[in-house]
Protein backbone atom coordinates (compact mmCIF):
# COMPACT_ATOMS: atom_id res chain seq x y z
CA UNK A 1 0.00 0.00 0.00
CA UNK A 2 1.20 3.51 -0.81
CA UNK A 3 1.54 6.25 1.77
CA UNK A 4 -1.21 8.84 1.51
CA UNK A 5 -2.26 12.24 2.85
CA UNK A 6 -5.88 13.32 3.15
CA UNK A 7 -8.30 15.48 5.09
CA UNK A 8 -9.83 13.47 7.92
CA UNK A 9 -11.89 16.09 9.77
CA UNK A 10 -13.40 19.26 8.33
CA UNK A 11 -15.58 21.59 10.40
CA UNK A 12 -16.63 25.14 9.59
CA UNK A 13 -19.32 27.61 10.65
CA UNK A 14 -21.03 29.68 7.96
CA UNK A 15 -22.84 32.86 9.04
CA UNK A 16 -25.96 34.59 7.70
CA UNK A 17 -27.07 31.91 5.24
CA UNK A 18 -29.86 29.32 5.37
CA UNK A 19 -28.73 25.68 5.69
CA UNK A 20 -30.21 24.80 2.30
CA UNK A 21 -27.77 27.21 0.67
CA UNK A 22 -24.88 25.44 2.40
CA UNK A 23 -26.11 22.13 0.96
CA UNK A 24 -26.67 23.21 -2.62
CA UNK A 25 -24.38 26.20 -3.21
CA UNK A 26 -21.38 25.24 -1.06
CA UNK A 27 -21.38 21.45 -0.86
CA UNK A 28 -23.05 21.24 -4.29
CA UNK A 29 -25.21 18.33 -3.12
CA UNK A 30 -28.97 18.45 -3.87
CA UNK A 31 -31.15 18.94 -0.81
CA UNK A 32 -33.19 15.84 -1.63
CA UNK A 33 -30.08 13.73 -0.88
CA UNK A 34 -30.29 14.79 2.78
CA UNK A 35 -32.56 13.66 5.61
CA UNK A 36 -33.82 16.31 8.04
CA UNK A 37 -33.39 15.44 11.72
CA UNK A 38 -35.06 17.45 14.49
CA UNK A 39 -32.13 17.22 16.90
CA UNK A 40 -28.62 18.62 16.91
CA UNK A 41 -25.40 19.09 18.88
CA UNK A 42 -23.70 22.00 20.68
CA UNK A 43 -26.98 23.93 21.11
CA UNK A 44 -27.99 23.43 17.48
CA UNK A 45 -31.59 22.24 17.21
CA UNK A 46 -31.63 20.41 13.88
CA UNK A 47 -29.44 18.99 11.20
CA UNK A 48 -29.41 17.71 7.65
CA UNK A 49 -27.58 14.41 7.16
CA UNK A 50 -26.40 12.68 4.02
CA UNK A 51 -24.88 9.59 5.62
CA UNK A 52 -21.96 11.07 7.65
CA UNK A 53 -22.08 14.51 6.00
CA UNK A 54 -23.78 16.71 8.62
CA UNK A 55 -25.08 20.29 8.49
CA UNK A 56 -26.36 21.64 11.84
CA UNK A 57 -28.58 24.70 12.25
CA UNK A 58 -31.33 26.31 14.31
CA UNK A 59 -34.92 26.64 13.15
CA UNK A 60 -34.62 30.43 13.27
CA UNK A 61 -31.48 31.80 11.63
CA UNK A 62 -29.29 33.26 14.40
CA UNK A 63 -25.75 34.33 15.23
CA UNK A 64 -24.65 30.70 15.69
CA UNK A 65 -24.83 30.28 11.93
CA UNK A 66 -24.77 26.93 10.15
CA UNK A 67 -22.24 24.31 11.24
CA UNK A 68 -20.83 21.94 8.61
CA UNK A 69 -19.08 18.87 10.03
CA UNK A 70 -17.35 16.09 8.11
CA UNK A 71 -15.64 13.54 10.33
CA UNK A 72 -13.38 10.82 8.89
CA UNK A 73 -16.05 8.78 7.15
CA UNK A 74 -17.90 11.93 6.13
CA UNK A 75 -14.73 13.18 4.41
CA UNK A 76 -14.41 9.90 2.50
CA UNK A 77 -18.07 10.09 1.45
CA UNK A 78 -17.68 13.67 0.25
CA UNK A 79 -14.63 12.62 -1.76
CA UNK A 80 -16.77 9.94 -3.43
CA UNK A 81 -19.16 12.70 -4.42
CA UNK A 82 -16.23 14.79 -5.69
CA UNK A 83 -15.15 12.01 -8.05
CA UNK A 84 -16.47 12.66 -11.52
CA UNK A 85 -17.23 16.30 -10.73
CA UNK A 86 -15.21 19.42 -11.45
CA UNK A 87 -14.80 19.83 -7.74
CA UNK A 88 -12.23 19.20 -5.01
CA UNK A 89 -11.29 20.33 -1.50
CA UNK A 90 -9.62 23.49 -2.80
CA UNK A 91 -12.76 24.42 -4.73
CA UNK A 92 -14.87 23.78 -1.61
CA UNK A 93 -12.67 26.09 0.50
CA UNK A 94 -12.80 28.76 -2.20
CA UNK A 95 -16.61 28.59 -2.21
CA UNK A 96 -16.67 28.86 1.57
CA UNK A 97 -14.57 32.02 1.46
CA UNK A 98 -17.30 33.70 -0.56
CA UNK A 99 -19.19 33.73 2.75
CA UNK A 100 -18.51 34.79 6.32
CA UNK A 101 -16.90 31.64 7.72
CA UNK A 102 -14.90 30.38 10.65
CA UNK A 103 -13.05 27.08 10.35
CA UNK A 104 -13.26 25.37 13.74
CA UNK A 105 -11.29 22.20 13.07
CA UNK A 106 -9.28 20.61 10.28
CA UNK A 107 -7.36 17.34 10.60
CA UNK A 108 -4.84 16.22 7.98
CA UNK A 109 -4.00 12.52 8.18
CA UNK A 110 -0.83 10.97 6.78
CA UNK A 111 -1.15 7.18 6.50
CA UNK A 112 2.32 5.63 6.52
CA UNK A 113 2.73 2.01 5.43
CA UNK A 114 6.45 1.85 4.61
CA UNK A 115 7.76 1.80 8.22
CA UNK A 116 9.27 5.28 7.82
CA UNK A 117 7.85 6.23 11.23
CA UNK A 118 7.08 4.29 14.40
CA UNK A 119 5.33 5.42 17.57
CA UNK A 120 7.97 3.90 19.84
CA UNK A 121 10.86 5.53 17.96
CA UNK A 122 9.17 8.93 17.95
CA UNK A 123 8.53 8.74 21.69
CA UNK A 124 12.14 7.71 22.34
CA UNK A 125 13.35 10.72 20.34
CA UNK A 126 11.03 13.02 22.30
CA UNK A 127 12.34 11.72 25.63
CA UNK A 128 15.90 12.37 24.46
CA UNK A 129 15.08 15.97 23.56
CA UNK A 130 15.48 15.39 19.82
CA UNK A 131 12.07 16.75 18.80
CA UNK A 132 12.20 20.41 17.74
CA UNK A 133 8.85 22.14 18.18
CA UNK A 134 7.18 25.15 19.79
CA UNK A 135 5.00 22.77 21.78
CA UNK A 136 5.92 22.33 25.44
CA UNK A 137 4.61 18.86 26.20
CA UNK A 138 4.47 15.35 24.78
CA UNK A 139 2.09 12.63 25.92
CA UNK A 140 2.30 8.89 25.39
CA UNK A 141 -0.68 6.57 25.73
CA UNK A 142 -0.70 2.79 25.59
CA UNK A 143 -3.68 0.44 25.69
CA UNK A 144 -3.19 -3.24 26.51
CA UNK A 145 -5.29 -6.31 27.20
CA UNK A 146 -5.12 -6.88 30.95
CA UNK A 147 -5.08 -10.69 30.81
CA UNK A 148 -2.37 -11.09 28.19
CA UNK A 149 -0.52 -7.78 28.22
CA UNK A 150 -0.95 -7.56 24.44
CA UNK A 151 -0.66 -3.96 23.26
CA UNK A 152 -3.74 -2.93 21.28
CA UNK A 153 -3.11 0.80 21.06
CA UNK A 154 -0.26 3.30 21.28
CA UNK A 155 -0.26 7.05 20.66
CA UNK A 156 2.14 9.98 20.92
CA UNK A 157 0.67 13.49 20.98
CA UNK A 158 2.71 16.68 20.75
CA UNK A 159 1.03 20.02 21.37
CA UNK A 160 -2.23 21.15 22.95
CA UNK A 161 -5.73 19.96 22.16
CA UNK A 162 -7.85 22.93 21.15
CA UNK A 163 -4.98 24.73 19.39
CA UNK A 164 -2.64 22.57 17.29
CA UNK A 165 -1.61 19.01 17.94
CA UNK A 166 0.41 16.34 16.14
CA UNK A 167 -0.93 12.91 16.97
CA UNK A 168 0.90 9.75 15.85
CA UNK A 169 -0.65 6.37 16.54
CA UNK A 170 -0.52 2.77 15.44
CA UNK A 171 -3.56 2.48 13.20
CA UNK A 172 -2.91 -1.18 12.40
CA UNK A 173 -3.13 -2.48 15.96
CA UNK A 174 -6.04 -0.12 16.63
CA UNK A 175 -8.02 -1.63 13.76
CA UNK A 176 -7.10 -5.19 14.69
CA UNK A 177 -8.05 -4.44 18.29
CA UNK A 178 -11.52 -3.57 17.01
CA UNK A 179 -11.71 -6.96 15.28
CA UNK A 180 -11.25 -5.54 11.79
CA UNK A 181 -9.29 -7.42 9.14
CA UNK A 182 -6.51 -5.37 7.54
CA UNK A 183 -4.96 -6.96 4.47
CA UNK A 184 -1.98 -6.05 2.30
CA UNK A 185 0.16 -4.44 5.01
CA UNK A 186 2.03 -5.34 8.18
CA UNK A 187 2.64 -1.71 9.18
CA UNK A 188 0.21 1.22 9.34
CA UNK A 189 1.06 4.36 11.28
CA UNK A 190 -1.20 7.39 11.12
CA UNK A 191 0.24 10.85 11.76
CA UNK A 192 -2.48 13.47 12.15
CA UNK A 193 -2.06 17.22 12.28
CA UNK A 194 -5.09 18.48 14.21
CA UNK A 195 -5.87 22.19 14.03
CA UNK A 196 -8.58 24.04 15.94
CA UNK A 197 -10.02 27.55 15.70
CA UNK A 198 -7.36 30.10 14.68
CA UNK A 199 -4.93 27.36 13.66
CA UNK A 200 -7.62 25.82 11.43
CA UNK A 201 -8.41 28.98 9.48
CA UNK A 202 -6.87 28.86 6.03
CA UNK A 203 -5.69 32.26 4.85
Q: Confidence band (pLDDT; 50, 70, 90) for 111?
A: very high
Residues 23, 5: Cα–Cα separation, whole Å: 26
Instruction: Return the CATH number of 4-108, one of 3.30.160, 2.60.120, 3.30.720, 3.30.920.
Output: 3.30.160
> Does pLDDT of 153 surpass 70?
yes
Q: Confidence band (pLDDT; 50, 70, 90) for 86?
A: low
Q: What is the mean pLDDT of the chain?
A: 92
Give percent of the chain with pLDDT exceeding 70.
98
Predicted pLDDT of residue 201: 81
Give the mean model confidence (pLDDT) for residues 80-85.
Answer: 76
* Maximum alpha-carbon separation in the chain: 56
Q: Confidence band (pLDDT; 50, 70, 90) for 152?
A: confident
User: What kind and span of H or E run contains 75?
Assistant: helix 72-82
* pLDDT tens digits for range 114-135: 999 999 999 999 999 998 888 8
Write out the residue limits of the CATH 3.30.160 domain(s) in the chain: 4-108
Q: Confidence band (pLDDT; 50, 70, 90) for 84?
A: low
Q: Confidence band (pLDDT; 50, 70, 90) for 202?
A: low
> CA gyration radius for the chain?
19
Amino acid sequence: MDNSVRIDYFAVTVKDVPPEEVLEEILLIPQDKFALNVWGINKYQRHYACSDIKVYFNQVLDKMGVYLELKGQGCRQYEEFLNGNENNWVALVNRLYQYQVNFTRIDIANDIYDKALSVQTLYAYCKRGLCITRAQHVDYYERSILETGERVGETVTIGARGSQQWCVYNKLIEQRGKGKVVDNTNSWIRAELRCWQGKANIS
